[in-house]
Structure 1
Amino acid sequence: MAQHALVTGSSHGLGAHLAARLAADGWKVTGLGRRPASETPGTPGVDHLQADLSRPETLERITDRLGEAPDLIVHNAVSYPPRPAHELSLAELEDVFRVNALVPYRLTLDLLAATPDTRFTSIVVINSESMFHADRDSGAYAASKAALRVLTGSLADACRSRNTAVATLLLGPLADPDKVAQLQRVAARRGVDEAEITRVFLRKSNPDLVIEELIDFDACYRSVQYLAGLGRAANGMLCRLDGGSAGSLI
């Protein structure tokens, strides 16, 4: 019988890629995303559930809609503030924190409560090195990611005596399609190589980075595979796939 994986934030981008790769590798995958099924890739083997995690009432229905408890949970859902942090209303701040930190925490607790302790559960929480580089405009997003990191640590501590592992995959700048397309347009406009434009972009945006290319989605998937494959030894683990952008002493 195929194992069951839940991937949040699976409507597009990295989440869609992780869900598709898991399905291709034989997992029974449930993808959770804000977009309706008609706006998702429609990947074979991925059962899409539409859910807006910024709405408080959504959380109450997710566990019932899932049916069986998953063997693997990948928290990838993310919300980006619509405006700079100092311009956000309290409601907008709450939405960002709810999606980026509070729902992954609360949903994990609910799913674990419904899972027999004889069944191993692997939880991989996708986080961002942005928490180390907060500025005037990115403070709300960075703070939500810092909150996610603290809550993930508390989940790992709570799972010390459970048949569960809670690990963090910390990512640097990703090669998402929109970012790649933007860099390609800049390279074409300036008549230079795309790789050189990417190097310049990364050096300016991430001074501590020691790689000169964006991190591809497949590297992220292999990292998720690695963490899930470690079993209980992965509990509390932090795996950095950030090219050193979080700083040399971290």
Structure 2
Amino acid sequence: MSSPVAHPASSASSASPVPPPALTAVVTGASSGIGRATAARLVADGWRVLAVARREDRLAELAAETGCEVLGVDITEDASVHALVGRVRECFGEDLNALVHVAGGALGVEPAAEADLEKWQRMYDINVLGTVRVTRALLPALRTSGRGDLLFVTSVAAQEAYPGGSGYNAAKAGEHMLAAALRLELNGKKVRVIEIAPGMVHTEEFSLVRLGDQERADAVYDGVENPLTAEDCADVISYALNAPHHVNLDLVTVRPLAQAAAHRVARHQGV
């Protein structure tokens, strides 16, 4: 009696399912703080990331650690943002899944009556006009993808005024309203508009850049139990971007437990 003939499985049944292509993201302000942590987190999540910032040496370190793509970009310069559009095409083709706006920052704590208008102008140029410039440049690629996300990292300063914060309040409120207007303008399109508004986050540079002195910067966090970290914020950003695309987190305000408002923070006595 002849042995049964083994029939090879069809190629359709034996082939492994083809995984979907990795999602793609541009993260601005990626040389430090929340931007750096976000770029690293998205790479760990399986995203293909193009991390951008002005400081190319910091970006090179990030690329070596994570394998992300990098490009030195000044979001306040048209030519620099034009170069970013070209690099996005080189890395990802004609479409893009997420643009994460982290570049920004605060300068000074002078009251409005003593405003340093150069600082105000710089804050507006970075937090608002720079954000608009990059959004305008990359929005076509987000729409082409069919699964686009515009994510803005603003601040509780966009929601609550506080003494010494007027310039930053105004700039971040402008960015907040930009996000709100875009959500209306893009209604019906396959682009989510997400805003993450952190409270007190202890990063190496935010308060130092704002105050210009390490001792004063350190004092901002004195006695505060567990201020947020950049990684805490990256966790929230990751959750928002990886949620099913029909789920839109319009606005997430995230603070440390010790902070009840922008100007109300619990501090341990004697610290």
TM range (shorter): 0.7 to 0.9
Give deviations 1:168-211, integer Å, cap 9, x for gaps: 0010000213569969977xxxxxxx9xx433xxxxxxxxxxxx
> What is residue 222 of structure 1 aligned with on the other side?
235
Give the match for residue 240 of structure 1: 253
Which residue of 2 is the match for residue 15 of structure 1?
35
Q: How many angstroms apart in 1 are the aligned matches of 2:218 and 2:108?
A: 24
Q: Name the residue aligned to 2:99.
A: 73
The equivalences for 1:86-97 within 5 A come to 86-90=114-118, 92-97=119-124
Residue type of the partner of 1:157? L
- In structure 2, distance between residues paired with 1:118 and 1:6: 14
Three-state SS of the structure 2 residue aligned to 1:169 is strand
State the distance in 1 between where 2:216 and 2:107 align: 22
Once the two structures are superposed, residues 71-113 of structure 1 have per-residue CA deviations (whole angstroms, 9 ceiling, x without a partner) of 12211001332674634245x4333212101222332233122
Which residue of the partner structure matches residue 153 of structure 1?
180
Kept in 2, the 8 Å contact 1:12–1:41? The answer is: no
1:33-48 aligned within 5 A: 33-37=53-57, 41-42=61-62, 43-48=65-70
Between the aligned partners of 1:185 and 1:21, the Cα distance in structure 2 is 26
Pick the aligned partner of 1:62 from 84, 87, 101: 84
What is residue 73 of structure 2 aligned with on the other side?
51
**8 Å Cα contact 1:128-1:172 kept in structure 2:** yes
Distance 1:109 1:184, change over 3 A: closer
Percent identical across equivalent pairs?
22
Q: Supply the AA of the counterpart residue of 1:125.
A: F
Unaligned 5+ segments in structure 1 are 187-193, 200-211
Q: Compute the TM-score of the two structures, normalised by the length of structure 2.
A: 0.71
1:198 paired with 2:250, answer: no
Q: Conserved in 2, the CA contact under 8 Å of 1:11 and 1:39?
A: yes
Residues 1:165 and 2:165 are matched in the alignment: no
CA RMSD of aligned residues (A): 3.0
Report the 3-state secondary structure (helix = DSSP H, G, I; strand = E; otherwise coil) of the residue aligned with 1:177: coil
Paired letter, 1:242: R
2:145 & 2:191 partners in 1: Cα distance?
10
In 2, Cα distance between equivalents of 1:104 and 1:46? 22
Tell me, in whole angstroms, the C-alpha distance in 2 between the residues paired with 1:99 and 1:123: 17
Equivalent residue pairs, number = 224
Shift of 1:40: 5.2
Residue 27 (structure 1) aligns with: 47
Shift of 1:121: 0.6
- 1:167 CA displacement: 0.8
Structure 1 residue 230, shift from structure 2 partner: 4.0
